[in-house]
Chains A and B, each alone.
Chain A
Amino acid sequence: MNRKLLAAALALALGAGFTLNAAAQAKPEVLVKQRQAAMTLQGKYFGPLSGMAQGKVPYDASTVARNAEYLHALSHMPWDGFNPSTSGVKSQALPAIYKDTAKFKEAQDRLTGAVDKLVAASKGGNEAAVKAAIADVGKSCGNCHENFREKQ
Chain B
Amino acid sequence: MRTLRPAETRCALRAIAFALLLGAELGNACAQGDAKRGQYLAKAGGCLACHTEDGKDAAPFAGGRALKTPFGTFYGPNITPHPQAGIGRWAEADFVRAMRLGVRPDGAHYFPAFPYPSFTKIADADLRDLWAFLRSLPPSPRANHAHELRFPFGWRLLVAPWKWLFFRPGPFAIDPGRSAVLNRGAYLVEALGHCGECHTPRNFLGAPKRGRLLAGARSGPDGKSVPNLTPAKLKKWDDGELKDFLQTGMTPDGDVAAETMGEVVRNTTGQLTPDDLAALIAYLRSLPPLPDEPR
- A→B interface (CB under 8 Å): 40, 42-47, 50-51, 54, 56, 138-139, 141-143, 145-147, 149-152
B57 at the interface (CB under 8 A from A): no
Instruction: Give the nearest-CB partner of B257 in chain A.
Output: A142
Known: A44-B253, A54-B270, A142-B258. 14 other contacts (CB 8 A): A40-B254, A43-B255, A46-B254, A47-B250, A50-B254, A138-B262, A139-B262, A142-B257, A143-B259, A145-B257, A145-B258, A146-B260, A149-B258, A150-B225
Taking each of B225, B257, B260, which has the highest tally of chain A beta carbons within 10 Å of its own beta carbon? B257
B256 at the interface (CB under 8 A from A): yes
Whether B247 pairs with A54 at a CB distance below 8 angstroms is: yes
Number of interface residues, chain B, beta carbon within 8 A: 21
Once bound together, how far apart are the Cα atoms of A42 and B254, in whole Å?
A: 8
Q: Which one of B227, B247, B256 lies within 8 Å of A141 (CB-CB)?
A: B256
Whether A151 pairs with B225 at a CB distance below 8 angstroms is: yes
Instruction: Give the nearest-CB partner of A135 in chain B.
Output: B266
User: How many inter-chain residue pairs (CB < 8 Å) link A and B?
Assistant: 59
Q: Which of B226-275 contact A (CB under 8 A)?
A: 226-227, 244, 247-250, 252-262, 270
Give B231 Cβ to nearest chain A Cβ, in Å. 15
Whether A146 pairs with B254 at a CB distance below 8 angstroms is: no
Residues in chain B near residue A150, CB distance under 8 A: 225
Whether B253 pairs with A43 at a CB distance below 8 angstroms is: yes
- B→A interface (CB under 8 Å): 224-227, 244, 247-250, 252-262, 270
Residues in chain A near residue B250, CB distance under 8 A: 47, 50, 138
Residues in chain A near residue B258, CB distance under 8 A: 142, 145-146, 149, 151
Residues in chain A near residue B259, CB distance under 8 A: 139, 142-143, 145-146
Instruction: Give the nearest-CB partner of B236 in chain A.
Output: A152
Instruction: Give the nearest-CB partner of B244 in chain A.
Output: A56
Given contacts A151-B224, A151-B226, A151-B227, whether A43 and B249 have CB atoms under 8 Å apart is no
Give B292 Cβ to nearest chain A Cβ, in Å. 11
Whether A46 pairs with B248 at a CB distance below 8 angstroms is: no
Give A77 Cβ to nearest chain B Cβ, in Å. 15
Residues in chain B near residue A145, CB distance under 8 A: 256-259
Whether A51 pairs with B248 at a CB distance below 8 angstroms is: yes
Instruction: Give the nearest-CB partner of A143 in chain B.
Output: B259
Whether B248 pairs with A50 at a CB distance below 8 angstroms is: yes
Q: Which one of B226, B256, B270 lies within 8 Å of A46 (CB-CB)?
A: B256
Whether B256 pairs with A146 at a CB distance below 8 angstroms is: no
Residues in chain B near residue A42, CB distance under 8 A: 254
Residues in chain A near residue B270, CB distance under 8 A: 54
Taking each of A42, A138, A149, which has the highest tally of chain B beta carbons within 10 Å of its own beta carbon? A138
Once bound together, how far apart are the Cα atoms of A142 and B260, in whole Å?
A: 8
Give A119 Cβ to nearest chain B Cβ, in Å. 18
Residues in chain B near residue A151, CB distance under 8 A: 224-227, 258
28 cross-chain CB contacts under 8 A: A40-B253, A40-B254, A44-B253, A44-B254, A46-B254, A46-B256, A47-B250, A47-B252, A47-B253, A50-B248, A50-B256, A51-B248, A54-B248, A54-B270, A56-B247, A56-B248, A138-B249, A138-B250, A142-B256, A142-B259, A142-B262, A143-B259, A145-B256, A146-B258, A147-B224, A151-B225, A151-B226, A151-B258
Give B67 Cβ to nearest chain A Cβ, in Å. 14
Residues in chain B near residue A146, CB distance under 8 A: 224, 258-260
